[in-house]
């Protein structure tokens, strides 16, 4: 089977492409080096390749940047999705669309796929419109789309501005004596990258629908820091800068029963195991 991955050079994209190739799929990739996905027909060069499935990962992701440059987020995230859907409409390929956390402050826990959607920033709003466009194409153009909503992804190779990778670096840097975190209290649901890729591969068989992906549990930033120090056999002072983010959500975790029931997916990697693997990968990279 031939598969196309947009956003192939991103954190998730690199892991996905590696797994697809090791599993025996023929993989085609598209990233910013190949062109602007938001332009009409950007994927037309692949129409004659016989591609059966597309993983659409490309897009802009910084919430903070979306407030300063909202038009760019709508252009890339919405038009890029539209370009990909048009490719699937023309080619007959199925599509897996990676979305994001769109639930806002939870009305109830755990959060299932029927929870009301709330877009509090341009990034989230652009992803919400992109999701709606996927559903419209599925209902009106018979483009088979599977929408995956992962909660907090982590794992080897993640950029340093994400909490877990940032803490791993601070704990394991000898010259860093204090671990400073903006707020130690918020709790999040974390999903290890390999478990996310497992769900991606399960979506290839043509499942349609929307699925939450997480662990079904939440951990505080304080617990994350403590676990990383314990696994690293390093103890450092930990302080909160006392600057919680605006509209901070104190706790959230996913109801993943639909993914288990319909995709046959459950996470295999505990948080402790995932953190250990992430620390090992970081130390190997720095050695």
| Active-site annotation, residues | 123
Backbone angles phi, psi at 153, to 5 degrees: -85, 145
| DSSP label of 246 | T
Q: 166: which residues sit within 8 A by CB, 6+ positions away?
A: 160
**Quick one: which H or E segment has residue 146?**
strand 145-150
Task: Please state whether the peptide bond connecting residue 110 to the residue before it is cis, i.e. omega within 30 degrees of 0.
Answer: yes
Q: 159: which residues sit within 8 A by CB, 6+ positions away?
A: 11, 165
Which two tokens mark 73? 């987020």
Q: Please give the full DSSP string across 254-281, using - where no structure is assigned.
A: B--HHIIIII-------HHHHHHHHHHH
CA distance 40 to 38: 7
């Amino acid at each position: 089977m031939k598969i196309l991955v947009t956003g192939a050079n991103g954190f998730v994209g690199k892991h996905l492409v590696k797994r697809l190739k090791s599993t025996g799929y023929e993989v085609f990739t598209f990233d910013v080096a190949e062109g602007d996905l938001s332009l009409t027909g950007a994927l037309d060069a692949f129409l004659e390749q016989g591609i059966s499935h597309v993983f659409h990962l490309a897009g802009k992701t910084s919430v903070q940047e979306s407030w300063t440059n909202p038009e760019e987020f709508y252009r890339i995230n919405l038009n890029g999705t539209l370009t990909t859907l048009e490719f699937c409409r023309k080619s007959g390929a199925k599509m897996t669309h990676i979305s994001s956390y769109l639930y806002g402050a939870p009305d109830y826990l755990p959060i299932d796929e029927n929870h009301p959607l709330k877009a509090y920033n341009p990034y989230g709003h652009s992803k919400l419109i992109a999701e709606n466009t996927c559903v419209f194409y599925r209902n009106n153009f018979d483009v088979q789309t599977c929408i995956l909503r992962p909660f907090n992804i982590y794992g080897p190779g993640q950029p340093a501005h994400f909490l877990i990778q940032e803490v791993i670096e601070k704990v394991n840097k000898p010259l860093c004596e204090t671990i400073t975190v903006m707020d130690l209290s918020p709790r999040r649901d974390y999903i290890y990258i390999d478990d996310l890729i497992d769900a991606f591969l399960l979506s290839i068989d043509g499942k349609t629908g929307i699925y939450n992906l997480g662990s079904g549990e939440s951990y505080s930033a304080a617990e994350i820091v403590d676990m990383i120090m314990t696994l690293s056999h390093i103890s450092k002072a930990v302080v909160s800068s006392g600057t919680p983010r605006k509209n901070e959500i104190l706790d959230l975790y996913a109801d993943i029963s639909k993914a288990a029931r319909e995709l046959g997916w459950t996470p295999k990697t505990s948080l402790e195991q995932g953190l250990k693997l992430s620390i090992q990968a970081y130390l190997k990279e720095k050695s």
